[in-house]
Amino acid sequence: MKMEPGEWQVAGGSAVGEMPDRPLAIEARGLVKRFDGFTAVDGVDLSIPAGSIYGVLGPNGAGKTTTLRMLLGIIDPDAGVRRVLGAERPHDVSHLIGYLPEERGLYPAMKAYEAIAFVGALRGLPLAQGRKRGRELLEEHGLGYAADRQIRQLSKGMAQQVQILSTLVHQPRLVIFDEPFSGLDAINQGKLEKMMRALADGGTTVIFSTHVIAHAERLCDGIAIIAAGKVPFAGPVDVARNRIRSQVRLETREAEGSWRAALPADARADRKQDGSSFFYFPLPESGVEPLLRALIEGEAGILSLSIERAGLHDAFVAIAGEAAARALEENPDEEQRR
């Protein structure tokens, strides 16, 4: 199958938005992977622009890790094609890729800076250069004092930070993190988010899998939602959120009047003790201007009116279904190996 530069795609192949004016770091078409008769990934399409932050979002066991491993060339798809940094074979550009696997692991007897250098050497970086760069990275990220400590002497969180830095030592053009926030406290999660933004600002493509919607909503330019091995949506975060109409929150001094005809019939209403009324409903398709005109002409006595855009969680529910959303929140620190 010949691959051509594509557009952001949704299930069924319909375009949902124009691609940014930049080359693609990753293209994948129709990726399928089976294990012992079980289809873990079923027809995944992805188009990820270079220099973007891209989230692979889904519940445990949805197929996130399998998809990332196919993109990396760790495993080959049973069907479909992929192009990574312009190469049909991911191994041909492995020296340009940094990877943090879901299964964390460093040699316990190695010193922190040596562990970073070792991972860099696996990607083709000379060991001496990796040792120097390892010390620099640890210093830059507030861990310079731990450079000569063995991994076994570090806390779990510190060891994880060392492993994250090891993915960057060879200055890759593409970084793939598999559940990078698991096991980090709130402070270090914030530091990792800042690091991801800095990488993208410098032109590095950052891809990470997660089952925590808040991280994806704060960080990502685009997302792929994976549920049961399929991708019902892949594209810009704004397009996903636009699947749900914005919600209006309205508070009026009056409870009744001719203006009520401008509100949807199913608008939720709540009468307050002071006599004012509160309404919550989807923004009418005609927009806010006709609504405001009706409220003013009908003397509703507007106390407050706000329009709230749907969050990514609501979009996930609309796209993947409530069952997938519930599964997203279960066993948050136990990603299944699929």
Nearest Cα neighbor of 229 from 38, 85, 97 is: 38
The Cα–Cα gap between 240 and 242 comes to 5
The Cα–Cα gap between 43 and 66 comes to 12
DSSP letter for each residue of 205-259 = EEEEEES-HHHHHHH-SEEEEEETTEEEEEEEHHHHHTTS--EEEEEES-S-SGG
The architecture CATH gives domain 247-308 = 2-Layer Sandwich (3.30)
Output the pTM of the full model.
0.80
The tens-digit pLDDT sequence of the chain (338 residues) is 444 444 333 333 333 344 456 789 999 999 999 999 899 999 999 999 999 999 999 888 888 999 999 999 999 999 999 999 999 999 999 999 999 988 777 889 999 999 999 999 999 999 999 999 999 999 999 999 999 999 999 988 899 999 999 999 999 999 999 999 987 888 889 999 999 999 999 999 999 998 888 899 999 999 999 988 899 999 999 888 888 888 899 999 888 889 888 888 888 888 877 778 889 888 888 888 999 999 999 999 999 999 888 788 888 888 888 777 777 776 554 433 34
Among the CATH numbers 3.40.250.10, 3.30.70.2190, 3.30.360.10, 3.40.50.300, which is that of 1-85+173-241+311-331?
3.40.50.300
Partner residues linked to 29 by β-bridges = 81
CB atoms within 10 A of CB 107: 12
Residues of the chain with CATH 3.40.50.300: 1-85+173-241+311-331
Could you tell me how many residues make up the chain? 338
pLDDT at residue 21, rounded to an integer: 61
Residues of the chain with CATH 3.30.70: 247-308
